[in-house]
Amino acid sequence: MKLIMLGAPGAGKGTQAKKIAAKYNIPHISTGDIFRANIKNGTELGKKAQSYMDQGLLVPDELVCDLVVDRIQQEDCRNGYVLDGFPRTIPQAESLTAAMEKLGTKIDYAINVEVPDENILKRMGGRRACLACGATYHVEFNAPKTADICDTCGAGLVLREDDKPETVQKRLDVYHAQTQPLIDYYTKAGVLAEVDGTQDMEDVFKAITDLLGE
């Protein structure tokens, strides 16, 4: 079962990817994890990635794809995997498809967790974080007992820069420009599956498991 998770920032695709990985006993693979593992282990690919990152440059698509393809050939991926955060662009998707064809394999499903922008702005704009102990809250869905005060340690809660509406909107604009075309790409490939991400987290997961089977 070889899966790709798609969805806007804040759509909940990372949470669903972890739940899928746990249920089906397959690895949850994010590009960040791959970068960290290769850099930590001092692999040739890791050294190449580090050289770009040290210069404040984006790691080129070709190298990112090489890192992902190296990862999915490891023993723990024999029964499948969930890719989270890759591919992000059409060139990355095309590179991945070409590399997988060489390996004689292909993606089974690209699962798009569909959430309208206004829902994401509400979700993320309502988050509050405790910088003292790391606890997180939401003004509507998981409010602290006392407004803007952490239940755990009593410190004040803040709206992080990443969760401010203008920051979230910028990230959504980038997503729509770069990543949204992947939905068309995987639709044409006949592997796109869409789930309604506005539902409760467990209902979203059930929709995905209904698709994938037990």
Per-position DSSP letters for 92-130, written without gaps between them: HHHHHHHHHHHTT---SEEEEEE--HHHHHHHHHTEEEE
> Is residue 85 included in any domain, yes or no?
yes
d(C-alpha 136, C-alpha 127), whole Å: 7
> Is residue 45 included in any domain, yes or no?
yes
| pLDDT at position 59 | 84
Report, as residue numbers or ranges, the catalytic residues. 13, 88, 127, 160, 171
The CATH number of residue 23's host domain is 3.40.50.300
> Is residue 136 included in any domain, yes or no?
no
Taking only the tens place, the pLDDT of each residue in 7-30 is: 998 899 989 999 999 999 999 998
> Is residue 137 included in any domain, yes or no?
no
Q: Phi, psi (5° rounding) for residue 192?
A: -75, 135
Q: Domain count of the chain?
A: 1
> Is residue 63 included in any domain, yes or no?
yes
| β-pair type (127-130, 157-158) | antiparallel
> Is residue 8 included in any domain, yes or no?
yes
What residues make up the domain containing 19? 2-115+172-209
> Is residue 64 included in any domain, yes or no?
yes
| pLDDT at position 36 | 87
Given a cut of 70, the residues of the chain with pLDDT beneath it are none
> Is residue 111 included in any domain, yes or no?
yes
